[in-house]
Amino acid sequence: MNFKLNKSHLASNSVNLSKHLNLPDEAVFDLPEKVLQFGTGVLLRGLCDYFIDKANKKGIFNGRVVVVKSTDKGGADDFNEQDGLFTHLVKGLENGQAIEENILNASISRTLSARSQWHEILHCAKNPDMQIVISNTTEVGIALLENDKITNNPPSSFPVKLLAFLHERWKEFKGSPESGMVIVPTELLVGNGDILKDIVLKQADNNKLELEFIDWIKTHNYFCNSLVDRIVPGKPEKEMIAELQKKYGYEDNLMVLSEVYRLWAIQGDEHVRNVLSFAQADDGVIIERDIEIYRELKLRMLNGTHSLQCGMSYLLGFRTVKDVMTNAYLSRIVTNLMLGEMSLAIPYKIDAKVRDRFGRMVLDRFRNPFLNHKLLDITVQYTTKMKMRNIPVLLQYYKEFGKAPELFAMGFAAYLQFMKGEKEVNGTYYGESNGEYYPINCNFAPYFYEAWQDFNLEKVLSNISLWGEDLTKLDGFTEAVRKYL
């Protein structure tokens, strides 16, 4: 019989577990809480919390994470039952060599529900050790929600939750400069820190908060643009979990699997570097004044290619990225799309050799045999991703070449086809492929459900609220998409 992973089990079995896992020192549980993290997702745990845990084990950062969960559904009980502990499996290829590392991550101190424990979250603002806010609320999480108040219990949107936390901290420490926070959103938005700061300030004005407080936000808090890059598909396959839990002698419902490659590029100065001292533990954390090159390479070539191939591959019957890359036809399409179209139209000046080298590294990551990166997961908020990641590349391609990128048009047509809802059940829309229904987890699913009732391609492509541009004005693009539809 397996025991639940928790501090008690770790303490009584550390000798045996140390043969298999990179374990934390017992002293980690006494470290102060320095980070407030909005989100429990696998990306945060498999990347940001990975760096913090690694630094703690090296005696560098010496701080733990309070995690804020937006709802009471799922997950939070596992975090509390496991005392925040989780197993992190790192598997993949690095410089042609197979790498495997098994880690017991002890970076998380506790998990609080925004819905039922908002007062306790606000109380964290009174902790003088608290220095950092991290978030990953998906691309749609950083949004201006009208009439959202800091007096709500809790506020509805992440920016107003953050605003309420900062206001509580400002009151507690009487606006002292040293009480300001370093705030690092990891949502895949270009200029995510700038966008978040702008919304927070607008909401401060909407909430009619003190001018002194607003000045404190502007002067003593650092909103850092950042970029995260690591494929963290989540839980391993059931067979692997069963094998590992038998080996380790404990049950872990929070186990995550990730690739070896890791990058967290953060825009910041010397003050930011000092506060984010965990960066010293791993060269995967880069803190520089300009991170645009890292953002553009990753956003366009990795994320953009993902978005253009996932719908097409799913409709063709594939379910994971690695399965796509073992198919000769689709692998060739992905390679040519990335290196022959996306790479040539990044809206940022990058040396051709750097683009090519990065692209070939990404293709190796796509081929990682250890990861079951589900195509359906990539389609979450599909329309927002398509607009943010790929439309700027499409526009730049037209500037460079004056014609429709063929494989881009193919992927875009497949995206439109994927968004064709066949039924709606309790607010969730479902598409159908090869006799099987799949969920369309996108805020624009209702729009496309209606649009497909009497589909008009020109009407969809000219919808500026969807794309920020009238795509029918791009010579030949409508025809190219129609051909593949």
Q: How do residues 287-302 score in pLDDT, each as one tens digit? A: 999 999 998 999 999 9
Give residue 76's pLDDT: 54
Q: Report residue 361 as tokens.
A: 């590294």
23-37 residues labelled b (16+ CB within 10 A) or e (exposed): bbeeebbebebbbbb
Give residue 96's pLDDT: 66
Q: By C-alpha distance, which of 134, 129, 106 is closest to 50?
A: 106
Superfamily designation of domain 292-484: N-(1-d-carboxylethyl)-l-norvaline Dehydrogenase; domain 2 (1.10.1040.10)
3-class secondary structure, 328: helix
Give residue 81's pLDDT: 93
Interatomic CA distance for residues 218 and 54, integer angstroms: 32
Q: What is the DSSP string of 412-459?
A: HHHHHHHT---EEETTEEEEEETTEEEEE--TTHHHHHHHGGG--HHH
Q: By C-alpha distance, which of 235, 239, 253, 238 is closest to 3?
A: 253
Interatomic CA distance for residues 232 and 372, integer angstroms: 9
Enumerate the CATH 1.10.1040.10 domain ranges in the chain, comma separated: 292-484
Dump strand ranges (E) for 10-53.
33-38
Classify residue 434 by burial, with Cβ atoms within 10 Å: 0-12, 13-18, 19+: exposed
Spans in the chain with pLDDT lower than 50: 74-75
Q: Give the angle 357-46-268 at the CA atoms, nearest 5°.
A: 65
Phi, psi angle pair for 148, to nearest 5°:
-90, 125
Dump strand ranges (E) for 39-118.
64-69, 86-94, 97-105, 108-113
Give residue 189's pLDDT: 87
Does domain 3-288 fall into CATH 3.40.50.720? yes
Enumerate the CATH 3.40.50.720 domain ranges in the chain, comma separated: 3-288
Classify residue 252 by burial, with Cβ atoms within 10 Å: 0-12, 13-18, 19+: buried
Q: By C-alpha distance, which of 12, 37, 40 is closest to 26?
A: 12
Whether pTM exceeds 0.75: yes
CB atoms within 10 A of CB 17: 20
Task: Name 438's bridge partners.
Answer: 431
